[in-house]
Amino acid sequence: MGELLRDDAELILAERRYQAIADILESTLTKGEGKWTYTDMFDHVFLHKALGIPIFLAMLWAVFQFTFSLSEPFMVMIGMIFGWLGGLAEELIANPHLASFVAGGIFDGLGSVLVFVPPIFMLFLALSLLEDSGYMARAAFVMDRIMYKLGLHGRSFIPMMIGFGCNIPAIMATRSIDNEKDRMITILVNPLISCGARLPVYVLIAGAVFGAKYAGTVIFSMYLLGMVLAIVMALVFRKTLFKGKPSPFVLELPAYVVPTAKTTILHMWERGKWFLVRAGTIIFGTVIVIWFLSVHPWAATAGGEMIGNSYIASLGHFLEPIVRPFGWDWMAAVALLFGFLAKEVVVGTYGILLGVEEGAVGASLVSLGLFTPLTGLAFMAFILIYVPCVATIGVVAKETNSYRWAAFVVVYLVALAFIVSGLIIGIGRLLGFS
């Protein structure tokens, strides 16, 4: 056959296809003006050498600000509704078992989870807007330089961003990374990106032990810690398990467009629904189990009045030695155990164990002396790091096509959690905190 195609068939065929297109367009297309006018203007700013990264960070800050300020009234409302429903159930239901189940199990437990629907959906709305408008690709561009140093490339950055909302859609978003090693690293470190489900725990603990004034800073430091750990682990994985250079970064930057409401909302829904699915299944089921264990044996606990005699307390006391060195008690042990299933459960668990409403959990934590600022900080770090929820582990297994990698994620995260929390406690004590 012809010499022509011997070495460069792909090249010649691609060239000829573009030639054919040029011939067709010659007689059918007259180019206009101004396609890139707006894009050039925006890119001048967003891709600016010095300003690109600060602008991106400002955007990120704005996203969080938007999310939390806009969703707060809704959160308060949902919390109130569930508190009221719980009270109503206790009053109206004659059977004490049933009343306890409905009020303590369903309304307290589920309510503590559903209050996080507004911020999570708002966060996804903001992220979808960034993505659909074309900005996310720019963020990948400005962050590529940093990501490259970490052994990843700009594309890995988008899943990280989505991870702030929920690790599940974030891990699914790694599909756009075509290099298998890059994708694996991105998946393995994604659970360290602090998802929306962990926020309630930070809000609870930080609010309780650091007070409203410092809570915000402490919470932000948790997000930062997560990112730093993700970076460190990405480097470690790149140097050990997935040696090599990151695959080349090629990404088309589309012209900016004004996103349409319908598409953005559908986009938000596709991601946010994971939270609802989990709330309705795993979280709900777990909360029911915790409630059951906390009010039985019924006689001994006097229908949940004396939780110290319940099954869950026995379980907690059994596990307590593991967490004792960190200064945490049996309730923390129980909360962490059930937090394996979903992080939001930690708050719900405290709600049930302390037998108080949403709003009063924090105050009880302090008045009972369960956490000091030091042990509280270590607890938050532990929550951040140890095992993402069961659903995320499931997605890791599915996306890596291997249960081994899912198991690996669990093991390395638990080990890392013990190390980091241990360091916090150790250093803190050396500095004279208790």
Partner 1 sequence: MPLAFLSEGEECDIVEVRGGRGLVQHLFDMGFTPSTRVRVLKSNPPGPMLVEIRDSRVALGKGITIKIIVNRSDGR
Partner 2 sequence: MITVAIIGNPNVGKTELFNRLTGMKQHVGNWPGVTVEKKTGTFTYRGEEIRVVDLPGTYSLTAQAADELIARNYIVDEKPDVVVDIVDGTNLERNLYLTLLLLELEANVVIALNRWDMVKERGIVIEVDKLSELLGVPVVPTVAPTGEGAEVLKEVVMKAAKEKEVRRKIVMGYGEDVERPIGVVEDAVRKDASLSGRYPPRWLAIKVLERDGQVLKLVEESPHRAEIMAAVK
Binding site for partner 1 (CB under 8 A): 10-11, 14-15, 18, 31, 35-36, 39, 43, 47, 49, 137, 140-142, 144-145, 148, 153-154, 245-255
330: left (phi over 0), alpha (psi -120 to 50) or beta: alpha
Q: Please report how close the Cβ of residue 198 comes to partner 2 at its closest, in angstroms.
A: 25
Which listed option, partner 2, partner 1, none, makes contact with residue 411 (CB within 5 to 8 Å by class)?
A: none
- Identified binder of partner 2 from the candidate list 21, 77, 228, 368, rule CB under 8 A: 21
2 binds, among partner 2, partner 1, none (CB under 5 to 8 A by kind): partner 2
Q: Is 368 helix (H, G, I), strand (E, B) or coil?
A: coil
Say which entry of partner 1, partner 2, none residue 28 contacts (CB below 5 to 8 A, set by partner kind): partner 2
Q: Which is nearer to partner 2, 109 or 169 (CB)?
A: 169
Q: Closer to partner 1 by CB, 239 or 245: give it.
A: 245
**Token pair recorded at residue 209:** 């032990």
Cβ neighbours, 10 Å, residue 219: 22
Residue 239 interaction partner, one of partner 2, partner 1, none, beta carbon < 5-8 Å per kind: none
The residue from 40, 72, 91, 270 that contacts partner 2 (CB under 8 A) is: 270
Regarding 2 and contact with partner 2 (CB under 8 A), the answer is: yes
Tell me whether the omega of the peptide bond preceding residue 191 falls within 30 degrees of 0, making it cis.
no
The candidate with the shortest Cα–Cα distance to 380, out of 335, 330, 421, 326, is 421
Is 41 a binder of partner 2 (CB under 8 A)?
no
Among 49, 297, 299, 401, binds partner 2 (CB under 8 A): 401
Sign of the dihedral through C-alpha 72, 74, 78, 83? positive
- Residue 191 CB burial class (10 angstroms; 0-12, 13-18, ≥19): buried
Looking at the Cβ atoms of 41 and 266, the one nearer to partner 1 is 41
Residues 110-169 touching partner 2, rule: CB under 8 A, are: 134
Q: Where does this chain touch partner 2 (CB under 8 A) — which range of 33-41, 91-99, 373-381, 384-392? A: 33-41
Instruction: Give whichever of 171 and 229 is closer to partner 2, judged by the CB atom.
Output: 171
Contact 350, 204 (CB under 8 A): yes
With respect to partner 1, which residue has the nearer C-beta, 42 or 405? 42
Nearer to partner 1 among residue 46 and residue 284 (C-beta)? 46
Q: How far is the CB of 50 from partner 1 (least distance, A)?
A: 9
Nearer to partner 1, 153 or 198 (CB): 153
> If residue 62 lies in a helix (H) or strand (E), which one and from where to where?
helix 52-92
Query: How many residues at the interface with partner 2, by CB under 8 A?
Result: 42
**CA 349: distance to chain centroid?**
19
Entry field: residues in the chain: 434
Reference 339, options 375, 383, 377, 288; nearest CA is: 383
141 contact choice in partner 2, partner 1, none (CB below 5 to 8 Å, kind-dependent): partner 1
Q: Looking only at residues 95 through 114 of this chain, which bind partner 2 when binding is defined by CB under 8 A?
A: none
Closest CA to 91 of 109, 101, 107, 103: 103
Q: Which two three-digit tokens encode residue 141?
A: 């561009």
Among 98, 362, 399, 414, binds partner 2 (CB under 8 A): 399
The identity of residue 139, as a single letter, is A
Instruction: Tell me how crowded residue 252 is: count the other CB atoms within 10 A of its CB.
Output: 5
Token reading at 432: 């004279």
User: Among 357, 6, 401, 398, which Cα is nearest to 168's?
Assistant: 398
- The least CB distance from residue 269 to partner 2, in Å, is 9
Separation between Cα atoms, residue 93 and residue 86, nearest integer Å:
11
Pick between residue 71 and residue 167 the one whose CB is nearest to partner 2.
167
What is 321-353 written as a DSSP string? HHHGGGT--HHHHHHHHHHTT-THHHHHHHHHH
Name the segment binding partner 2 (CB under 8 A); options: 171-179, 202-210, 297-305, 314-322: 171-179
Residues 313, 207: contact at Cβ < 8 Å?
no
Of 244, 254, 280, 308, the residue at the interface with partner 2 (CB under 8 A) is: 254
Q: Which residue has the tokens 């503590």?
A: 112
Nearer to partner 2, 30 or 95 (CB): 30
Binding to partner 2 (CB under 8 A): which residues in 283-342? none
Return left, alpha or beta for 96; rule: phi > 0 is left, psi -120 to 50 is alpha, else beta: alpha
Indicate which single residue of 4, 50, 299, 430 sits in contact with partner 2 (rule: CB under 8 A). Answer: 4
Q: Enumerate binding residues for partner 2 (CB under 8 A).
A: 1-2, 4-5, 9-10, 12-13, 16-22, 24-25, 27-35, 134, 172, 175, 178, 252, 254-255, 260, 262-263, 266-267, 270, 398-399, 401
